[in-house]
Amino acid sequence: MPSLGSGKYDRGYIIPIGGCKHHITDDIAEQIRSICLNANASAVILTISSNTIEHDLRSNLIDNGFSTCSEVTITSRQDASQEELVQQLADNDLIIIVGQRPLQISTIIGGTPMAKQLRKLNADGVHIAGSYGAAALLSEHMIAGGEESITPKQDGVTMAPGLGLTNRFMLDYHFQQPGRLGRLLTALSYNPFTIGIGIDEGSALFISPEEELQVHGKGSATLIDPSNLQYSSMGSAGSGDYISLFGLQMHILAPGSRFKASDHQAYDEHWA
């Protein structure tokens, strides 16, 4: 894993965690701890949901070297605007956002002081992770839903504004679930500048300040790069029509594999 730069204003890592359970493996927790350069690293778990969400993230982090781990719960836009709650995110090395439905999370915090604080802290070097639906929230163009299909369709995805920590990658979680590939491809046909990544259960992406990502955990990630897209029929397709996409490149990234957005290259320790 590339190390963080020494510049004062280096961005923190962005860490989307796949799956539909709020749990991180020891490998992921160890890797998160390794990028926190503070000897007494502290974390905060930010739960954004109108419903109670059970998780064991605090014990995962404490067992893997974090000195402290607090929790903040946001259930409404009023909560997300409270200065006391917003300031509880400061002075931490890591923030893990917990939530189930991306659209619900974004409608609770979108445009609030809480969202602005998250972007500022990440820009100032705080690492921000997103678990379950919050994994999709981290990108600028957020996949909020879609129909089950392995092929792209004109109306096969619902998009919404995300938190905007990265505009280079578009993220989807629980990717082994049927139908995720079709909606990710449809989302890319709307936004061919971005690189699409589907994250499997039990895996996490570590996206560095230099926009290099590495996969950790027990699952893999599916990366679709449209940088050499030759043709898309999205512009002429009618409602419900299947979409033609020519020239896409796909990578399957097992744990330890890396991808550099700067040169659009995938790397593995056994292949270079």
Q: Are 11 and 122 in contact (CB under 8 A)?
A: yes
CA 50/CA 227 separation, integer angstroms: 38
CA 214/CA 226 separation, integer angstroms: 19
Q: Would you write out the chain's pLDDT as a tens digit for each of its 272 residues? A: 434 333 344 899 999 998 767 678 889 999 999 999 999 999 999 999 988 888 889 999 999 999 999 999 999 999 999 999 999 999 999 999 999 899 999 999 999 999 999 999 999 999 999 998 999 999 999 999 988 888 999 999 999 999 999 999 999 987 877 778 999 999 999 989 999 999 998 899 999 999 999 999 998 999 999 999 999 999 999 998 999 999 999 999 999 999 999 999 999 977 75
Q: Are 170 and 141 in contact (CB under 8 A)?
A: yes
User: Domain coordinates of the chain in residue numbers?
Assistant: 14-261
pLDDT score for 154? 92
CA 127/CA 191 separation, integer angstroms: 26
pLDDT score for 20? 66
Homologous superfamily (CATH) for 14-261: Class I glutamine amidotransferase (GATase) domain (3.40.50.880)
SS (H, E, C) 72-98: EEECCCCHHHCHHHHHCCCCCCEEEEE
pLDDT score for 52? 82
CA 113/CA 106 separation, integer angstroms: 13
